[in-house]
Structure 1
Amino acid sequence: MLVVLSSPVYFVFSIRLFKSLDIQIFNNFSSAENINLDWLRKLVYIFGSVWTLLMVVATIHHVFHLFSWIFCTDGISLSLSIFIILIGYYGLKQKELFSFPEKESFILEQKPEKYSGSRLKESEAGLYLEKLNRFMEEEKPYLNPDLNLPQLAKEVEIPSHYLSQVINENIGLNFFDFINRQRVEDVKNKMSDPRYNNFSILGIAFESGFNSKSAFNRVFKNITGITPSEYKKTLSV
């Protein structure tokens, strides 16, 4: 009975973990292309559904003596084996899982109430914000397509947890949105710059820190409300 109940319980826990993971990604990475775990989400959903179905069949067999017990046990073993193999295969291809900075710890999910115990004073936060804005304008770290929170914290010389707090509370954005808004503004500026007349829109996007066409189009439209091509047309009107 406990085995049967374990399937939906673990399935619910997995969904909650995925939600937490999404928050962590957007709080630490400026690009989700190399850490996109949709494949894992799909595998868990598929395996959870298959496991639940097999448990139902096993229960029916136990109570009503229908179906074959061998079908249930072999089905569970086969699906579990395939699940493990696929996780190993796709996991090894997920390079960001194996390339975290050695001496930097990523900020886990941060809820507003978690900052209540922070030692960061309002005056210090203001200084950090000013320092961050100046660094972004002068050094343009967002041009690095693989920029993450620990890297930026090291470059701007602000502790990671304080930098995360400043971005979340003082700017009102997560790290992903903060960096990509900078990139979108850079794209818009380059589109208006005659020196980039010979660049394609995608070429400008890559020059501004984006690392894929799909990510660029999605982020640009989410921020501006129109596609890059539509924005380009407005410049010639």
Structure 2
Amino acid sequence: MGATSVLSFIYFLVHLILVIRYRSRAEQKLKYFYSSIEDKSLHWINIFIIGLLLVVILDSIAGIIFVSSGIYEVSVINLLFLLALTWYIGYNGLIQRPISENLHDFQLQKETNRQEQSSNHTEYEELKKRLLAIIEEKKLYQDEDVSLRILSEYMDVPIKKVSHLINQYLDTTFYNLMNTYRIDMFKEKVKKGELEQKTILALALESGFNSKATFNRVFKQNEGMTPSQYVSASG
């Protein structure tokens, strides 16, 4: 492998690490803004990562072939692959532009946390009461598409302040807060005997969950048992 191929390998390896770190952080940040994140999946970044790995492999093969026989065709294939990969990530990036903007807002919000923490404690106590009252009165958690921005509009409070309120004063994320309400609603429906006419999945969907897989995963994380086990124990 020539010096150019080695440098290319190092270059792509560094970018792979950066992309993996970005994806992990971005998925965590989604929970600060959305109550359901499954339909905002960043799995397309996995394709991008795999694509970069293939580029590295093709580039290495091109270097070996060039050294041994001076053939350039593999480099052309490599270039075309890079163009396709660039189009792919650009297309998916445009589709998820609103998510990117929200993540940027979150970065700004974190930078102002120190200033927010020095704000009047009484003000945030009042805001907390308003926030919980609005969630319960409007039953926002039943809407699978509810977001932090929607909640901030109901409260008529800047989204950064609402985010700070949930993260610092309630010590949770918007995602976890909404799912806690959803689980409580599901449990209440079970206690009322609604399973006599409906399925577990039907009650989960009515409570605000958007899929069986999400409901099962979140329920087990919060309750330490599956929904079926909970229903059996309740009976």
TM class, shorter-length: 0.7 to 0.9
Deviations 1:45-75 (A, max 9, x none): 211211122233344456xx13664243133
The amino acid of 2:113's aligned partner reads Y
Are 1:27 and 2:29 counterparts?
Answer: no
> In the TM superposition, what is the alpha-carbon distance from 1:195 to its structure 2 partner?
4.6
The amino acid of 1:6's aligned partner reads Y
> In the TM superposition, what is the alpha-carbon distance from 1:18 to its structure 2 partner?
1.1
Are 1:41 and 2:45 counterparts?
Answer: yes
- For structure 1, the residue ranges without an aligned partner over 5 or more in a row are none
The amino acid of 1:9's aligned partner reads V
Q: Which whole-Å CA distance do the structure 2 matches of 1:230 and 1:213 have between them? A: 15
Q: Which whole-Å CA distance do the structure 1 matches of 2:204 and 2:91 have between them? A: 31
Higher mean displacement: 105-114 or 79-88: 105-114
- TM-score normalised by the chain length of structure 2: 0.83
> In the TM superposition, what is the alpha-carbon distance from 1:131 to its structure 2 partner?
1.2
> In the TM superposition, what is the alpha-carbon distance from 1:107 to its structure 2 partner?
3.4
Matches within 5 A, 1:110-125: 114-118=112-116, 120-125=119-124
Matched residue, 2:159: 160
Q: Which whole-Å CA distance do the structure 1 matches of 2:231 and 2:138 have between them? A: 26
Say if 1:200 and 1:191 are closer, same or farther in 2 by CA, change over 3 A.
same
Asked whether the equivalents of residues 120 and 162 of structure 1 are also in contact (C-alpha less than 8 Å), the reply is no
Judging by fraction of residues, say which structure has more helix. 2
Q: Which whole-Å CA distance do the structure 2 matches of 1:193 and 1:82 have between them? A: 55
Matched residue, 1:54: 58
Say if 1:121 and 1:57 are closer, same or farther in 2 by CA, change over 3 A.
farther
Are 1:11 and 2:16 counterparts?
Answer: yes
Total equivalences in the alignment: 228
Asked whether the equivalents of residues 24 and 107 of structure 1 are also in contact (C-alpha less than 8 Å), the reply is no
Deviations 1:14-59 (A, max 9, x none): 1222123113211111101220111x12212211211122233344
Asked whether the equivalents of residues 145 and 211 of structure 1 are also in contact (C-alpha less than 8 Å), the reply is yes
Q: Which whole-Å CA distance do the structure 2 matches of 1:194 and 1:16 have between them? A: 46
> In the TM superposition, what is the alpha-carbon distance from 1:77 to its structure 2 partner?
2.5
Q: Which whole-Å CA distance do the structure 2 matches of 1:20 and 1:152 have between them? A: 23
